[in-house]
Structure 1
Amino acid sequence: MSIVSVLAALALVVAVLALVLAVVGLRRTRRTRGTGAEALPEDVRGLRQEVAALKRETGDALRHLAVVRYDAFGDMGGHLSWSLALLDDGGNGVVMTSIHGRSEARTYAKNIATWSCEQQLSPEEEEAITHARPTPR
């Protein structure tokens, strides 16, 4: 046998031995760490707690919004009037409306509580609230 053949055979033996040791080490690691949440490193548990806290904190953020643009009067174009809904996860917030006419614009704000309003809503305001409402996952 040539020296190259001996070195190739020796390299093959070393590679197989390394593979066996890696498999044994992996099995030991799995047995000692477990398979459930207790197997997670401590920093992962901390990150999960931080994410849960952030979700609680942002629950009342006005993060659901929708804008409906329209022509309030038939003789005007450009969709210059609008209704804007700004709501949190519970459907609390405000719907604002701006009606644009030829010589003036009027702006209104109405409080929204749990996806409804004590005051009469225009169809455009109701549409803005409907579009702002998140779809169930």
Structure 2
Amino acid sequence: MNETLLAVLAVLGVLLAATALVLALLALRRTGSNRRTARRAGELPVDVQGLRAEVHALRTEVSDALRHLAVVRYDAFGDMGGHLSWSLALLDDAGDGVVLTSIHGRSDARTYAKNITDWSCDQPLSPEEQEAIKFARTA
């Protein structure tokens, strides 16, 4: 009778282990499908949503930075060489900023600043200043 009891207990143990395995596989499958469904629905984990919000805030903040820069060097006067005169465009993503120009002569140097709004200026621009704005826009 001991051998029969042991055999029955062994069979029950195997059945119990097989049932536990099937239940574990079903639970694992259900969890995996829930994750796929959540991803399909556009739901992201909270930490990923937080990172996306931070990236968006940084992009908004950077758009106001003077990121479009260009320098054009030239000879303002025919009798001077060395490209000592220059125009510098400092603009943000919207095309707002300033163009600085320094014109060097034999005895003096003059510096000018012109406000730029939406890639244009209310004051007349020299060809070199226009060129600096054009280069800055493509930079």
Q: Is the TM-score greater than 0.5?
A: yes
Equivalent residue for 2:64? 60
Distance 1:134 1:42, change over 3 A: farther
Matched, 1:73 2:77: yes
SS class of match (2:130): helix
Q: Whose radius of gyration is greater, 1 or 2?
A: 2
User: In structure 1, what is the Cα distance between the partners aligned to 2:126 and 2:53?
Assistant: 42
**1:89 Cα deviation (Å)?**
0.9
Q: 1:75 to 1:66 in 2, by over 3 A?
A: same
Matched residues, percent identical?
73
What TM-score do you get using the length of structure 1 for normalisation? 0.73
| Correspondence for 2:119 among 115, 118, 121 | 115
Q: Which amino acid aligns with 1:32?
A: N
- The one of 77, 90, 93 equivalent to 1:89 is 93
CA apart distance, 1:102? 1.1
Mark the runs of 5 or more structure 2 residues left unpaired by the alignment. Answer: 1-27
Structure 1 unaligned blocks of 5 or more: 1-24
Counting only pairs closer than 5 Å after superposition, residues 8-87 of structure 1 correspond to structure 2 as: 30-33=32-35, 34=37, 35-36=39-40, 37-38=42-43, 40-87=44-91
* Deviation readout 1:79-99 (Å, 9 max, x if unpaired): 111000001111111000000
Q: Which amino acid counterpart does residue 128 of structure 1 have in structure 2?
A: A
TM-score (norm 2): 0.72
- Taking the aligned partners of 2:30 and 2:85, their CA distance within structure 1 comes to 68
CA RMSD of aligned residues (A): 2.2
Q: What is the number of equivalent residue pairs in this alignment?
A: 112
